[in-house]
Every structure is written in C-alpha cells, then in structure tokens.
C-alpha cells in the first residue's frame, strides 16, 4: 500500500529545493523591492499593508544580507510549512491519499506554486495563518476543545498582521457557526467572543499606527479595493477579472475549480455534507465578495487566492471521487500537464527569455519605438526585473564623480522606481517626490533637509518623465546626464534616463506634492 505521507514529504522537499535554486537568480519585482524598503523603516504598520512581511524579510536579510535570495527565502520556507498544514487539514477531513492529491494540486497551481511560494508578498504568511486557523477550527469542531479558541484568536491576529484580508476568517467562522446546527451552541459561549478580542489585541499595533497616521492605510485599502467614485456595473471589468484569475490558476484547472465550487455548494446546502459546509464557509466569502467588487472596480487576481486555496481541498476530494471516470482522468492529466508547462515556460522565460513576444504583436506594434525601446521589449514585463545591477553600478559611478560634500541625492517620481532603485543601491537613500500619496510621504515628511542640494533624477522607459516639466522652478537648472541602455539577450530591453537637477527648494513644491493625509 502506498505511503502517501512519505510521498508528501518527498514532494515537499523536492519542490522547495527547486525553488531555492531559482530565487536568487531573478531580480526583485516591484512589490518585493517595496517590501524590502519597509525593512529600512521598521514600524507598527505601513501605508500599503500591515507589517508582518517587513519583519520576516528583515530577519532573513539580517542572516543572508540584502540579496534577492534573502528577500525570497521566507516565501519558500513559509510555503513549505503551508503545504504541511494543508496536508494535515485535508487528512483531518478525509484521508492521507486525498491530502497528498491536494498538495500535489497546490503545487500545480501557478498562483500558489510560483507567485505565493517564490515571490515574497503578504499573501504568503496570510496563506500560512489562514490554513493554521482553518486547522485549529477543524480541531475545535471535531474535539470540542474550548481552549483552542484562544489560540485561534492569536492566529487570527497574526493573519491580520499579514494582510487585511484576514478579516474574512472572522466572517467564515461566524457563517459556519450560524449554518451548522450542531455547532451553533458556540454562539452562546464566551470563547468565540474572547477570540475576537484576542485577535484585536494582536492586531492593535496596526490600529494604533493608523490612528497616529490619519487612518491612511485603511483608507488606501478601501479606495484600492472599492474605488473612489460611485460604482457602476461593468461586464468588461468582471470579464477581465475572471480571465486574470483563470490565468493565475491556469485555464483548465480554473474550469475544474468552478465545477468544484458548484458541487461543494450543492453538497453543503442540499446534501448537508459537514465537510463541504466547512470548506464553503472558508472559501465562498472571499470569492463572492471580491468577484462582486470586480464587476464595479478593477481588482488584482490574487486577491481571491485564499478562497481558491480552501476550495482546493474539495477539489482534491472530488478528484478522488471521480477518478474512476476515464474522461475525468484524461481531463485531469491534461490540466496538470498544461499547468506544469505554463510554470516551466514562465520560469524559462524569466531566466532565459525564450518566448518571442514580437511574433505575437501586429506589424505596426512591432515597428513602434518609444523612449528608445521597441514595443515587444516594453510588453515583456519580465524585463523589469533585469538591469538593476548594471544601473546601480552606473549610479555609483556618477555619484562618486562628485566630491563627498557635493554628491547629489537620488530621487524619482514613482514609488515603484524608488523601491527598486533603493534595493539596487542599498547604501544610498532614494526619495520619491510625486503628486501621489504613497508610503514615501510617511518616510520623508520633511523634504526641507534637501534644500540647496542637487538631485539626480532617474526614470526608465517604463515610467518616463521629463523632470523639468514635472518640477518646474523647484530646481534652478536641469542638465540631462545620459541615457543608459540595458541589454538582454543582445537586445535593448530597457532604458534608464539620468538628469542632474540643481539647487532643490522644497518651498516651491506644488502643494499636491506634499501629502496631507
């Protein structure tokens, strides 16, 4: 008889080993660089997110240094243990075979096998605590251990410290207790309510930080999620969101997961299946809310990831249930193979640029050149993680050509660029002077410390800007220094532009450049 627990550990160690092989070979994404900048300004919370991602990256970089490997190391480790929790959760509800199939499925889904396990984003620790809370709740309803409610509160607080989406766990638990007749008695007990209080205490540093910073993080996330104008239904937005989620899950497995949702919902509310009800309560709230919002405002496809994560448990159960069907087996093999192909193709392109993107563009777009870069190279988003080391060497060369007392400060107009620049030249500080409120407005509240100094403005073809048009008389003079090209596979893939801006005067900045939270 096959020992599925042993095979789980073989799979888990092998996939972790593969991830460790590549995490140091790829430049940081915009988000990862931004979360690394968090570590330079350690705080109770941040403009964009709660602080957990900053803390784990900080610990890793203290051990391994400021490298791509160090920034991504936590993501690989966390996904390793998340798979372990996932296995235990499924085994508690079903059996070892179903648990192994579930972990296998998880490693085939691009949103988890690559985005959530290689790239360091807040969703990585969120997924871990989501599964841990799910496991603890399973033990509560299976064993009736009231003391586990207090541990549940701590874990829910940690989920909230990872990402605000952790609030959905509260709704999931409440929904299950309301809908499950035999567990409804917990609503009359004190433990669930103490759980909420404990979670609030653990989460309180974020609340305090927001209170001291005009609730800017809560406001930003509400605006980011729901928009800032009265919503209007858009079938285009909804379709775009569904398409993006299908891409993150892979098209064929996305169709399977849609089938899983339908069957799970039917089994939960018609057949009164207890496991189906539990899984539905921990997946549907996230999926329903964000997909409803997607019909009115653009969302990011990974926002629904926690819903699909728990949904995958029922997907594993149905895989075992329908495996005797030849058609189902063929569809499953094809879906898994297609997922594996997508993952290998994506990693190969990131590492070796194997996809000829120009062949997929119309002739007019192929011939288009903007800021010195062809449309095909501009459309290749993987180019953004390349060229930063070469650019950093050029920045150091320019900066070191000045006497120490006259060296210009570094700045740009987009927080995306500022964060990637900061990671490229870790020893230098990079300012973001823009008319958009972002995290840098909190970190650089007093720009008058730069008065009288020269600044080196840096932009790229991705975020091109003429500093003299943007800043006007904030500087006395603008001197274009150079255009610095980046080549990848012997093709010009990106351009950086350097402009020396003389004699900064913060008092002349337009008021929209000075954040008023």
Q: In sequence order, which residues have a C-beta less than 8 Å from that of residue 490 and are 6 or more positions away?
A: none
pLDDT of residue 152: 98
How are beta strands 430-432 and 409-412 bridged, if at all?
Answer: parallel
Q: In sequence order, which residues have a C-beta less than 8 Å from that of residue 209 and are 6 or more positions away?
A: 43, 44, 45, 217
**Contact assessment for residue 302 and residue 248, using Cβ atoms and an 8 Å cutoff:** yes
**Contact assessment for residue 459 and residue 413, using Cβ atoms and an 8 Å cutoff:** yes
**Contact assessment for residue 488 and residue 382, using Cβ atoms and an 8 Å cutoff:** no
Exposure string (b/e) for 184-209, b if CB count within 10 Å is 16 or more? eebeeeebbeebbebbeebbebbbeb
Residue 516 pLDDT greater than 70, yes or no = no
Residue 65 CA: distances (Å) to CA of 29, 68, 142, 388, 455: 18, 9, 45, 17, 28
DSSP for 115-132, please give it.
IHHHS--THHHHHHHHHH
- At 123-171, the pLDDT tens digits run 999 999 999 999 999 999 999 999 999 999 999 999 999 999 999 999 9
SS3 79: helix
- At 381-407, the pLDDT tens digits run 999 999 999 999 999 999 999 999 999
Q: Please give the sequence-ordered ranges of beta strands (E in DSSP) within 371-439, or none if there are none.
A: 373-374, 409-412, 430-432
Domain boundaries, the chain: 4-217+230-347, 373-513
* pLDDT band, residue 363 (cuts 50/70/90): confident
Interval 7-11 mean pLDDT: 97
Indicate the pTM of the whole model: 0.95
* pLDDT band, residue 297 (cuts 50/70/90): confident
How far, in Å, CA of 42 to CA of 415, rounded?
18
- Residue appearing with tokens 């396990």: 117
Residue 76 backbone dihedrals phi, psi, to 5 degrees: -65, -45
pLDDT of residue 365: 86
Interval 110-132 mean pLDDT: 93
> Sign (positive/negative) of CA torsion 165, 167, 173, 178?
negative
Residue 119 pLDDT greater than 60, yes or no = yes
Residue 231 pLDDT greater than 70, yes or no = no
> Sign (positive/negative) of CA torsion 173, 177, 183, 187?
positive
pLDDT of residue 229: 53
Tokens of 103: 């972990």
How are beta strands 430-432 and 455-460 bridged, if at all?
Answer: unpaired
How far, in Å, CA of 426 to CA of 5, rounded?
43
Interval 404-422 mean pLDDT: 96
How are beta strands 455-460 and 475-488 bridged, if at all?
Answer: unpaired
| Rounded-to-10 torsion of CA 291, 296, 301, 306 | -40
pLDDT of residue 222: 81
SS3 260: helix
Interval 291-300 mean pLDDT: 88
Comparing CA positions, the residue from 345, 92, 302 lying closest to residue 102 is 92
SS3 286: helix
């Amino acid at each position: 008889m096959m020992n599925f627990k042993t095979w789980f550990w073989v799979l888990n160690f092998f996939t972790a080993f593969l991830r460790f092989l590549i995490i140091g070979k790829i430049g940081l994404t915009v988000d990862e660089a931004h979360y690394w900048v968090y570590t330079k300004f350690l705080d109770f919370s941040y403009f964009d997110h709660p602080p957990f991602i900053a803390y784990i990256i900080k610990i890793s970089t203290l051990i391994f240094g400021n490298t791509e490997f160090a920034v991504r190391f936590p993501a690989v480790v966390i996904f390793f243990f998340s798979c372990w929790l996932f296995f235990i959760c499924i085994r508690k509800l079903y059996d070892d075979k179903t648990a192994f199939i579930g972990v296998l499925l998880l490693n085939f889904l691009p949103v988890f096998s690559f985005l959530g396990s290689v790239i360091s984003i807040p969703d990585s620790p969120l997924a871990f605590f989501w599964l841990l809370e799910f496991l603890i709740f399973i033990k509560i309803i299976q064993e009736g251990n009231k003391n586990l409610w207090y541990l549940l509160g701590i874990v829910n607080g940690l989920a909230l410290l990872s990402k605000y989406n952790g609030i959905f766990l509260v709704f999931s638990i409440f929904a299950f207790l309301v809908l499950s007749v035999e567990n409804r008695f917990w609503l009359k007990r004190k433990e669930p309510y103490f759980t909420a209080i404990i979670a609030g205490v653990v989460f309180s540093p974020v609340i305090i930080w927001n209170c001291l910073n005009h609730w800017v993080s809560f406001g930003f996330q509400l605006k980011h999620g729901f928009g800032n104008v009265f919503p209007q239904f858009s079938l285009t937005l909804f379709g775009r969101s569904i398409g993006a989620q299908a891409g993150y899950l892979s098209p064929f497995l996305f169709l399977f997961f849609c089938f899983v949702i339908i069957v799970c919902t039917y089994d939960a509310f018609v057949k009164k299946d207890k496991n189906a009800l539990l899984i539905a309560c921990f997946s549907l709230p996230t999926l329903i809310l964000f997909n409803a919002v997607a019909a009115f405002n653009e969302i990011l496809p990974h926002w629904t990831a926690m819903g699909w994560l728990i949904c995958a448990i029922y997907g594993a159960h149905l895989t075992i249930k329908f495996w005797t069907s030849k058609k189902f087996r063929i569809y499953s093999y094809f879906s898994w193979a297609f997922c594996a192909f997508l993952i290998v193709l994506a990693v190969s392109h990131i590492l070796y640029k194997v996809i000829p993107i120009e062949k997929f563009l119309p002739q007019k777009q192929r011939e288009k050149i903007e800021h010195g870069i062809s449309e095909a190279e501009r459309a290749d988003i993987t180019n953004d993680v390349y060229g930063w080391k070469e650019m950093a060497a050029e920045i150091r060369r320019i900066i070191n050509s000045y006497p120490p007392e006259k060296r210009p400060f570094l700045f740009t107009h987009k927080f995306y660029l500022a964060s990637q620049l900061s990671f490229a030249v870790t020893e230098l500080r990079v300012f973001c002077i823009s008319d958009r409120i972002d995290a840098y407005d909190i970190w650089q509240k007093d720009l008058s410390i730069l008065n009288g100094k020269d600044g080196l403005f840096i932009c790229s073809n991705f975020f091109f800007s003429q500093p003299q048009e943007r800043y006007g008389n904030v500087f006395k003079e603008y001197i274009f220094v150079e255009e610095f090209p980046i080549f990848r596979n012997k093709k010009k893939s990106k351009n950086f532009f350097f402009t020396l801006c003389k004699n900064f005067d913060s008092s002349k900045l337009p008021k929209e450049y000075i954040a008023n939270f």
